[in-house]
Chain A
């Protein structure tokens, strides 16, 4: 029983090249984020600010619906949920 965090291309080099990281379910979003960083510590400086919140340039989607930072504490992730991290990019 697990949830999946999908990483954008730009962050995969800091997670041993993995595109998806499976984590235990029944975690809050913040717990899942903590587990992700514990497993791949080099993601930390690229994903969260000094105060531990996700950078504003990374949009967080749960099952393809965006959730804002205010909602993070209330989110519980259940078996099969997919969290996708989408960073802003500027190329044109």
Chain B
């Protein structure tokens, strides 16, 4: 029995019949399918790049009840891909801004907002009562929690992820015989081997493509039509415009969905791995200290580890560019007899770079705290911020 009140009458009104007419006439959907959509409860976790198209299309298609989980607020750097939001939403709650936009789009829609971060403690409760869960999150911790909670509750997880120009989409649903996320990716990458979208970048239209594919899978699952993306991992390469279907299967030994899965295992990733425990400590210096060193003529070798496109937007004068992922390949070109200061956008990649150089035997390496962004904010306001 679902916890969420099923108080919407599934029968379509005359207005709804007109509104959804173009999809109602499809034999595969028809009035029955449309009533199933109206009765459906779909939880979308993350209302960012992927969540925006998922929510917009599901609201338009006549899903009766949408839940939105997002703790975040709208930032200007979100707007190139998070098409639910505009300038008027800056600094506002994503979940609430999304709910207002969706209800303006379709007054028949009921929305529940959860302004919280999904974690092992609340996941079971958040997803309870929903027919389908959509994973539109942007981090591994959430992905493993959502997977484990959905497996345990027997709810299909319509999942997508994106990076740079690549996307992956799959429906994880052991209850229908398919694998779960852990069957395919038993563990996340160790810290340092997986760039985030903030560091690696993402082309704005990519979550639009992946998110609309997720919305399509949700509609298929609810209407019970077509062949769901279960047992397949769909990959999309936006640069080559190439889709590929990979065959994926249940792993009998999977700790989430396998025969011997422990029903009491805590959801998500074990907390045993503090992100930085084994990482080489790195010296950090502030932008003020760098400005003083430059004024005195004692500045270190300035190594900008961002990509060429970012360097074109704003850079510290005199810095040399080697993108982080090329650093090891080109480390031989760096001076060994001079201090090296690694610089990036906000100070995360430069820490990784400084660590990598230290591990390669460079002895005088530091990272610029706050990166070019702090430099533009506090030292040189003529630089553009992004």
Contact = CB atoms under 8 A, between A and B. Distances in A.
Interface of A: 8-10, 13-14, 42, 46, 55-57, 59, 61, 64-66, 68, 84, 86-92
Residue from B48, B244, B245 having most chain A Cβ neighbours under 10 A = B244
B50 A92 contact: yes
Contacts of B202: 91
Nearest to A42: B328
A52 B382 CA distance: 50
Contacts of B114: none
Given A89-B162, A92-B50, A64 B244 contact: yes
Contacts of B237: 9
Interface in B218-252: 233, 235, 237, 244-249, 251
B189 A55 contact: yes
B139 A90 contact: yes
Given A57-B187, A88-B188, A90-B188, A65 B246 contact: yes
What is the predominant secondary structure among interface residues of chain A facing chain B?
Answer: mixed
A2 B329 CA distance: 27
Contacts of A14: 325, 328-329
A91 B251 contact: no
Contacts of B185: 56-57, 59, 88
A44 to B, nearest CB: 11
Contact of B193 (A46, A59, A86): A46
Contacts of B207: 92
B362 interface: no
A9 B164 contact: yes
B57 interface: no
A91 B46 CA distance: 11
Interface string B283-301: 0000000000000000000
Q: What are the 9 A-B residue pairs with the smallest beta carbon separation, nearest first?
A: A92-B138, A56-B187, A91-B197, A88-B185, A56-B186, A89-B163, A57-B189, A65-B247, A91-B163
Contacts of B357: none
A13 B51 CA distance: 31
B329 A13 contact: yes
Give the secondary structure class of B's interface: mixed
Contacts of B364: none
A84 to B, nearest CB: 7
A91 B195 CA distance: 9
B320 interface: no
Contacts of A92: 46, 48-51, 135-139, 160-162, 197, 207
B143 interface: yes
A61 B184 CA distance: 11
22 contacts: A9-B237, A13-B326, A14-B329, A55-B190, A56-B186, A57-B189, A57-B193, A59-B185, A59-B246, A64-B245, A65-B246, A65-B247, A86-B235, A86-B246, A88-B185, A90-B143, A92-B46, A92-B49, A92-B51, A92-B136, A92-B161, A92-B207
Contact of A10 (B51, B138, B195, B248): B195
A15 to B, nearest CB: 10
Nearest to B187: A56
B20 interface: no
A89 to B, nearest CB: 4
A19 to B, nearest CB: 9
A87 B124 CA distance: 27
Contacts of B217: none
Contacts of B244: 64
B373 interface: no
Interface string B28-62: 00000000000000000010111100000000000
B171 to A, nearest CB: 15
B140 interface: yes
Contacts of A13: 325-326, 329
A16 B70 CA distance: 40
